[in-house]
Structure 1
Amino acid sequence: MTAPTLRSDVVTLRPHRIEDMEAFWTFFQSDRAAYVDGPSSRTQLWYGFASEVGSWTLVGQGGWAVETPDGRLAGQVAVTQPPHFPERELGWILFDGFEGRGLAFAGASLARDWAFANDPGAPLVSYIDPENTRSIALAERLGAVQDAQAARYDPQDVVYRHRRAG
């Protein structure tokens, strides 16, 4: 299985392409990556990127490229549960210059709705650094609520629990 293409008026979620990797490297070298675990080398970037793509084949979920209506790569949205995550996560990153246009909200909404449609009984959370106020605001805008009792792989994270839209 490869990532399905999902569309709204604001954004397209599409399968990753190899040429997306350079934008990820740029992101992970910037201050925008302060709240996410990032690679320290291009080899580690390859492993992480290949994991986001290969997860679709292995477990039927993974990362999508977030693309603007004019075809520019704006970031990533993912539904994943690597072995160290207690629950399935909805995560997002947005590249520099794309904030304030509703892209993260639109992409995360598409991914959330896809996750619940394809595995309705599985929980869906977002693990967020407590200082990442923009991601916390997005989780709340998506309708997620903080779950202080939820298990987490990083004890510093806050966990936001998502619900089916509606």
Structure 2
Amino acid sequence: MRFLVRDRLLGIGDDFWIEDEHGTKAFLVDGKAMRLRDTFELKDTQGRVLIDIHKKMLSLRDTMVIERDGDPLATIKRKRLSLMRNHYRVSLVDGTELDVSGKIMDREFGIDYDGELLAQISRRWLRVRDTYGVDITRDDADPALMIAVAVCVIHLAEREREGD
């Protein structure tokens, strides 16, 4: 299952559609303006909030939090002891950890669980400008969560680059 995500997704106040590989609207990204922290909602085509994404307010390192139905689902932050700068850890509330690594700023990276690829993020196979793809490689992977993880990691990497 493949989704097309506009590259400048995390502009505060920006709203836009994420489309499936057939060009059908699949998710709406609703950027919340006028908030103290970066906040975005991933909604279905009927406008129901599937995922809430926001920056954790009080943390030593930049951390994004993903919530579903008001309950924490995952936290994302850059891996501390990694030789690769583009290596992030996703900690799900059930104790599962996902690894995200690759060329984040180039939109060429993967989301892995226990060494198995769950989703591949890439621009290579797209011809649409300022767009990247999220290719869900496992049938049991949650598409909304994989898109939210990709969005968070890109946002964290861009904020880190701005701080350099």
Q: Does TM-score exceed 0.5, indicating one fold?
A: no
Taking structure 1 as the reference length, the TM-score comes to: 0.34
Higher strand content, 1 or 2: 2
Provide TM-score, normalisation by structure 2: 0.35
Q: Relative CO higher for 1 or 2, CA cutoff 8 Å, sep ≥ 6? A: 1
